[in-house]
């Protein structure tokens, strides 16, 4: 039957770059799903549910027995508030203003799905920002335009990297794919 084909069900260039670090061949497949947060569910349940929806949508397209589909969803949580992707500049500015000089958590739910088995997991990482002035937030938003990123920032982005005071957990999780946990889970599949 041969080695299974890995398929990353994501259009995120960051997830693609992170998975490439594992030096495993993979294909990408962009799928459209509703990424709706259900307020009756926990953060962990929301991100794993959305990742499952992405993996299932990809499986419907692929319909190949010898594939492993990888899907993920990431959100930023400040206390009980979930911060997804911003609606625009003002929303992004408000998010970053609320995250400064405090800690928040980044959650990524990921799913591995093959014809014979599945794996679902949620990883969280704590991040603490230094204080950012309004000018620094505006400069970051205008130069990096992080409107496709949960919480309105990329930890790896120029300027933002200067304001990360502390991180506790997986760096790649904050970027959108917890690589070490994913690779560990993949071992059970191949």
88-137 pLDDT, tens digit per residue, is: 999 999 999 999 888 999 999 999 999 889 999 999 999 999 999 999 99
pTM above 0.85, yes or no: yes
Residue that the structure tokens 């005071």 belong to: 165
Per the listing, tokens 């409107």 go with 147
Say how many CA atoms lie within 13 Å of 190 toward its Cβ. 18
Q: Is residue 73 among the annotated active site residues?
A: yes
* Number of neighbours of residue 32 by Cβ within 10 angstroms: 8
Quickly name the fold that domain 5-187 has. Maf protein (3.90.950)
Residue 15 and residue 150: Cα distance in Å, rounded? 13
Give the containing element (helix H, strand E) for 129. Answer: strand 118-129
Helix (H, G, I), strand (E, B) or coil at 126: strand
CB within 8 Å of 162: residues ≥ 6 apart? none
Question: Residues 73, 91, 130, 134: which is the catalytic one?
Answer: 73
pLDDT digits (tens, 9 = 90+) for 139-155: 999 999 999 899 999 99
């Amino acid at each position: 039957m041969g080695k299974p084909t890995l398929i990353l069900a994501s259009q995120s260039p960051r997830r693609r770059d992170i998975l490439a670090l594992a030096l495993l061949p993979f294909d990408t497949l962009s799928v459209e799903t509703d990424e709706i947060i259900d307020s009756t569910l926990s953060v962990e349940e929301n991100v794993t549910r959305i990742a499952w929806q992405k993996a299932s949508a990809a499986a419907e397209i692929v319909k190949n027995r010898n594939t492993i589909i990888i899907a993920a969803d990431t959100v930023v949580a400040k206390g009980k508030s979930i911060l997804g992707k911003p609606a625009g500049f003002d929303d992004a500015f408000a998010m970053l203003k609320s995250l400064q000089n405090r800690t928040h958590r980044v959650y990524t739910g990921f799913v591995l799905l093959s014809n014979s088995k599945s794996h679902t997991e949620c990883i969280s990482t704590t991040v603490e920002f230094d204080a950012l002035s309004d000018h620094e937030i505006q400069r970051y938003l205008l130069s990096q335009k992080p409107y496709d990123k949960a919480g309105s920032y990329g930890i790896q982005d120029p300027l933002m990297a200067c304001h990360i005071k502390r991180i506790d957990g997986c760096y790649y999780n904050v970027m959108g794919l917890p690589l070490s946990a994913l690779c560990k889970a993949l071992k059970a599949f191949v």
